[in-house]
Amino acid sequence: MAGDSLKQIDSSTLWGGKVSPFTTSYGKLMMWFFLVSDALTFGGLLVSYGFTRHDCQVAWPIGEETFNSLPFLGHGYPLLYVALMTFILIVSSVTMVLAVEAGHRMDRKGVTKWMIATIIGGFFFVGSQAWEWYHFIHGSEFGKVELADGSRAIVKGHFGEIENFKVIEAGHHHKKGDVITEDLMHEFQHAVVAGHVHDGKIHLHDGSVAKVNRKADEHVKLLIKEDGSKHHLGDVIEGSEAAKIYSEVINSGVPNRVIYGANLQANEYGPSQYAQFFFFITGFHGFHVFSGVIINIIILFGVLRGVYHKRGHYEMVEKTGLYWHFVDLVWVFVFTFFYLI
């Protein structure tokens, strides 16, 4: 018997294995293992989000208050845009599974058609996410305001449009009597944050002072999110009083009483961790979608060149399909825990 252990066996027989206990190919099994680890990463992110939210002593933003805009249509559509994004991703998941099904019938035309549909759906989703980020970063026209008693409130309603700035004191650049009509909102918000707006007058960068001609705000509602000495979390101030308070805050000339949009330090929606998690989780997911689209395009080229047809099976399409469905799966959870709950 001693001779047997010394017998030469070529390495492909020794290490090649034979029957897989999973009756599946190596590539597919490894894709599954990768997805398990990636799912644990996302699981860790969402659990830490829940952890932070539970321990946060400041009111956490409410999904339908934060995300209520649609492109071209403005505000007042709670959650509809994310719902649309979810639907786009589900549909592109369906087209992907149809591509895999066509591959199992060796239907090259079918695979091509459904792969192209999947890629288009993926681009739509990435584009939607870009719009969502743009909107999140820029924030509302009102911003979040600090009231006289130290409480903080988010503001809902219809922001009175700025018509122009009429220069009343000349500076380096603008002369007295000039009427400025460009980039008004941007200038105005910067000046409010810096405390350069006072009694309806704006101090511009060049040292000039201009009168702000602005329509009246309508249907203003202040929703208190942080306690002060007078107002408390959950209080709602409405009607003409709300409009008056808001106007006082932005015309106070005191810097940093208003926060617009979001960055990693502060945001108008809630505690700073909220925006940090938003950027990290949706960003990491968006990165997955983007790389998924790129992988799908590469596989589409393989399909068009007939690589998989010659090979006799379309398993590459199936493997990328697994990744693509996983991206959809993650979004289902992000949607629930970030937007709904």
Closer to other proteins by Cβ: residue 179 or 340: 340
What is the smallest separation between the CB atom of 281 and other proteins, expressed in angstroms? 15
Contact in structure between 154 and 58 (CB atoms under 8 Å):
no
What is the smallest separation between the CB atom of 53 and other proteins, expressed in angstroms? 9
**3-class SS of residue 84:** helix
* 258 bridge partner residues: 145
The only residue of 5, 8, 23, 181 in contact with other proteins, by rule CB under 8 A: 23
Residue 261 sits in the site that holds other proteins (CB under 8 A):
no
Contact in structure between 79 and 339 (CB atoms under 8 Å):
yes
Quick one: which of 250, 194, 257 has its CA closest to 226? 257
What is the rounded CA–CA span in Å between residue 288 and residue 323?
Answer: 9
* Binding range to other proteins, per CB under 8 A, among 51-59, 142-150, 195-203, 209-217: 51-59
The only residue of 66, 69, 86, 208 in contact with other proteins, by rule CB under 8 A: 86
The only residue of 79, 120, 126, 233 in contact with other proteins, by rule CB under 8 A: 79
What is the smallest separation between the CB atom of 334 and other proteins, expressed in angstroms? 10
The only residue of 75, 101, 148, 302 in contact with other proteins, by rule CB under 8 A: 101
The only residue of 1, 21, 109, 177 in contact with other proteins, by rule CB under 8 A: 21
* Interactions with other proteins, residue window 278-317 (CB under 8 A): 312-313, 315
Say which DSSP state 152 is in.
E
What is the rounded CA–CA span in Å between residue 71 and residue 247?
Answer: 27
Closer to other proteins by Cβ: residue 65 or 169: 65
What is the rounded CA–CA span in Å between residue 123 and residue 116?
Answer: 11
Residue 132 sits in the site that holds other proteins (CB under 8 A):
no
Contact in structure between 166 and 181 (CB atoms under 8 Å):
no
* Residues written for the chain: 341
Contact in structure between 164 and 178 (CB atoms under 8 Å):
no
Residue 97 sits in the site that holds other proteins (CB under 8 A):
yes
For residue 148, what are the contacts with CB-CB under 8 A and spacing of at least 6? 230, 245, 248, 249
The only residue of 66, 69, 92, 93 in contact with other proteins, by rule CB under 8 A: 93
What is the rounded CA–CA span in Å between residue 333 and residue 40?
Answer: 13
Residue 168 sits in the site that holds other proteins (CB under 8 A):
no
Closer to other proteins by Cβ: residue 43 or 74: 43
Q: Give the number of residues in contact with other proteins, rule: CB under 8 A.
A: 67
Q: Residue 240 burial (CB < 10 Å; 0-12/13-18/19+)?
A: exposed
Contact in structure between 103 and 111 (CB atoms under 8 Å):
yes
Binding stretches for other proteins (CB under 8 A): 10, 12-13, 16, 18-25, 28-29, 32, 36, 39-40, 43-44, 47-48, 50-51, 54-55, 57, 62-64, 78-80, 82-83, 86-87, 90-91, 93-94, 96-98, 100-102, 104-106, 312-313, 315, 318, 321-322, 325-326, 328-329, 332-333, 335-336, 339-341
